[in-house]
Amino acid sequence: MSTTFQLDTSTSRANPTPAPMKRLTVPKIRLRKQDGVTAEPLVMLTAYTARQAQLLDAHCDMLLVGDSLAQVIYGLPSTIPVTLEMMANHGAAVVRGSYHSVVIIDMPFGSYEASKEQAFESASYLLKQTGAAAVKLEGGEAMAETVEFLNKRGIPVMGHVGLTPQAVNVLGGYMARGRSDNEADKIVADAKALDDAGAFAVVVEGVVEPIAIEVTKAISCPTIGIGASARCDGQVLVTEDMLGMFDRVPRFVKKYEDIAGMIENTVKTYADEVRERSFPGPDQTYQPKK
């Protein structure tokens, strides 16, 4: 059966053809950690559109089509309402816009928890529809059997432990995890279970630094920190948070720019010029040929 994604090599604004790049692979990401050490930290950011992927691709090892698109793109209060179709549409756009990074797609809430067979059906749908390389799912020991099942059937899986946003209703909020001994022990055990099951990397989110470091030392696959520690094997942030698109962001986010302010100032300038009839000017209008 043919897949639905296509590689567009046109030179249009939507799909400019970049300099030739060889795309990274999941095994190469996994092998960046050798004997418990990652010589160069892995770089991952979220992406939801083709243009965003084009801008991020050359600088990242991985692009995550995160279910955080719920809040960032759709203005939803949490990731819970996200559907497979939403993830597939945005995932396909990111694959079309990238040529270098490994593209990973979040499996949305309710698409994999019921059984490993459900997880395979959902994951295979996402990969067929998008051409992405891997999926990511949340949960530790409870998901280890599912991760092994998918891995054995040709679907690479990235795990996710610590603060798991899809479980926000159980956790009671987006607080940091691992402050109690019981929480810390569970996070380490969850990460080990995913590693043993064949996960090629594990996101460690919202975890107190000593536990993030312990997890990184305890498992053989790379850890990707977000609100964890610089000593994780890599880092990920929501791109819009990092760029300063939102006033309120989690404590662990560093705003590298004030893109929201830049957009507001640019739009104000445009609006002022329209109202004073200085735009469009001679350079933006067509005149009859002499």
Active site residues: 205
Output the furthest CA–CA distance in the chain (Å, rounded).
Answer: 82
Ligand-binding annotation for 233, yes or no, is: no
Contacts with 34 (C-beta within 8 Å, 6 or more apart), sequence order: none
Ligand-binding annotation for 136, yes or no, is: yes
Q: Partners of 105 in the beta sheet?
A: 65, 135
Contacts with 154 (C-beta within 8 Å, 6 or more apart), sequence order: none
> Do 229 and 223 meet the contact criterion of CB atoms below 8 Å apart?
no
Ligand-binding annotation for 138, yes or no, is: yes
Ligand-binding annotation for 196, yes or no, is: no
H or E element at residue 103: strand 102-106
Residue type, 201: A
Contacts with 160 (C-beta within 8 Å, 6 or more apart), sequence order: 136, 137, 138, 139, 202, 203, 205
Interatomic CA distance for residues 104 and 169, integer angstroms: 25
Q: Partners of 64 in the beta sheet?
A: 46, 104
222 preceded by a cis bond (ω within 30 of 0): no
Ligand-binding annotation for 67, yes or no, is: yes
Binding residues: 67-68, 106, 136, 138
Q: Which residue numbers belong to the known binding site for Mg(2+)? A: 67, 106, 138
Write out the binding residues for 3-methyl-2-oxobutanoate: 67-68, 106, 136
